[in-house]
Amino acid sequence: MSILMQIQDFVQEYAETISDVIELDVTIVNEECIRVAGTGPHKESLWQKVPHGSFYRSVLQSGKPGIIEDMKTAFSCSNCALSGLCKELATIAFPLFLSDLPIGIIGISAFSENQKSKLINTSPELWSFLKHMSNLLESKLLLLEQNQYLQDRVKEAVIAVNHQDAFGKILGGDIRFREVLEKARQVAPGTSTVLIRGESGTGKEMLARAIHCESRRQGLFIAIDCASIPENLLESELFGYEAGAFTGANPKGKPGKIELAQGGTVFLDEIGDMSHALQPKLLRVLQERVIDRIGGKKSVAVDVRIIAATNCNLESAIATGEFREDLYYRLNVIPLYLPPLRSRNVDIPLYVHHFIIKYNRILYKDIRRVEAPLMKWMKEYHWPGNIRQLENVIEYMVNMCTDSTLSFKELPEQFHLNNNTEIDSDNLTLAEYLEDYEKKLLSERISIGITTEAKSKIASQLGISLATLYRKLDKYKLNH
């Protein structure tokens, strides 16, 4: 849900206040082009999307304000889905920003000739007024965002207090995995930079949080995904900016995430995807412990610990010139490598049962066991998405399961299309082989709607009692 929708009552009150002051109708549209507030005729279309091809959509896309003095003849309205049917005679649209990202439009509309004349004759003043009001709204939204941020950090602090032995909460019994955790525990109290490497889904951020929780640092743990933030915004996110640093910037300036983590830890995930242009600035943080805000004249001293993570081959990136060698050595002070799940399949049953317990609680299920052939397959599957993929699969299976045992039939469909799901009978134990054979035999003989008399005959042919047959049908979930 967009932030404007989350505070719709405030936004509607805001629009009505502006309308009362300027005596023109006002509307506010979010980044999804949904009208979230409006006065006058705009009230009739609240929660509806503005038409395709409309002027507001073009302003939102360009991020630049605009004015139409005659909606009937304006070229900007020629492609609108409501062209020729629109009740508006003239309009001014001004984009709304939050932390440099467009979040909507605030518009002033004229629905009568008197309103149209007023809008046109006072457009310079209205333009300036809208700019001022959009800045005020952004300040309000930033305050709300910061309050939510603080609430999240308080929750994080409570969790940290309640889980003092952070490493003890990380599951895994594989010897190499425990060695990595022990090394991480040993370096946690220090300040040295840590580089965690491993495939996606192996738990790099969880390990980083454990290092922070076991450290003596009193500041926040702030995670930044270098791959998910556009390159042109990552610099301001990391280092912040001064007032007036660029067009659309917060007039009060904004501290970056590194500065907000003062006394704490900054976790830079996917560091291998950081642009070459930003790498020297991060190197300066590591070498001199200072940051330079965009547009700033003075460096700001910072006391933060950097923990970076990547699934990239940084050595290859250095060879191709994509990653700085000097930054690599600054980051790689304490190297930690998390092995993929396929190389420590001894831990898979541990994770499977952990996730079953978790999703039993969330989904109100009562799953108590996993069929032996399925568990064997899980231990042999290569899990390219590692622990994250395994958890997703277990969550799906718990949703689909209708009794107390997970079996192959609950696996997501894509696994049934993969030959890896076939049971390798050569590697089964005798008990597992007999169990698999017994299940196949019964499934072939027991058809849907079979009568009790027919079941009694099958039991006699197999040399077992009818009660034993029923127990086996229950065991293999073959009751029809």
Give, as one character, the DSSP assignment of residue 50. P
What confidence tens digit (pLDDT) does each residue in 11-20 have?
A: 888 888 888 8
- The answer regarding whether domain 3-143 maps to CATH 3.30.70.260 reads no
Give the pLDDT band of residue 448 (cuts 50, 70, 90).
Answer: low
Question: What tokens were used for 32?
Answer: 């999804």
Q: Assess contact for 275 and 234: CB atoms under 8 A.
A: yes
Distances (CA, A) of 110 to 85, 91, 123: 15, 6, 12
pTM check: above 0.95: no
Q: Assess contact for 221 and 210: CB atoms under 8 A.
A: no
Task: Provide the β-strand partners of residue 433.
Answer: none
Position 154 pLDDT exceeds 60: no
Give the pLDDT band of residue 163 (cuts 50, 70, 90).
Answer: very low
What confidence tens digit (pLDDT) does each residue in 310-356 have?
A: 999 999 999 999 999 999 999 999 999 999 999 998 999 999 999 99
Q: What is the CATH class of 340-423?
A: mainly alpha
Residues 23-33, mean pLDDT to the nearest whole number: 90
Distance CA(292)–CA(271), nearest Å, equals 19
Distance CA(370)–CA(477), nearest Å, equals 13
Q: Determine the 3-state secondary structure of 103 from DSSP.
A: strand
Residues 390-416, mean pLDDT to the nearest whole number: 90
Residues 378-391, mean pLDDT to the nearest whole number: 92
Among residues 330, 338, 288, 334, the alpha carbon closest in space to that of 188 is found at 334
Distances (CA, A) of 426 to 241, 422, 432: 64, 12, 11
Q: Determine the 3-state secondary structure of 146 from DSSP.
A: helix
Radius of gyration for the chain, computed over Cα atoms and rounded to the nearest angstrom: 31
Distance CA(86)–CA(409), nearest Å, equals 56
pLDDT on residue 413: 83
Q: Determine the 3-state secondary structure of 338 from DSSP.
A: coil
Give the pLDDT band of residue 422 (cuts 50, 70, 90).
Answer: very low
**Sheet-wide strand order for 334-337:** 221-225, 265-269, 305-310, 194-197, 334-337
Task: Provide the β-strand partners of residue 267.
Answer: 223, 307
Q: Directed axis angle between helix 348-363 and helix 372-380, to 10°?
A: 120
Give the residue extent of every domain in the chain. 3-143, 164-191+203-332, 340-423, 430-480
CATH number of 164-191+203-332: 3.40.50.300
Position 419 pLDDT exceeds 50: no
Distance CA(389)–CA(227), nearest Å, equals 20
- What DSSP letter does each residue of 154-178 carry, written as one string? HHHHHHHHHTS-GGGGS----HHHH
Phi, psi for 241 (deg, rounded to 5): -150, 160
Element housing 95 (H / E): strand 90-98
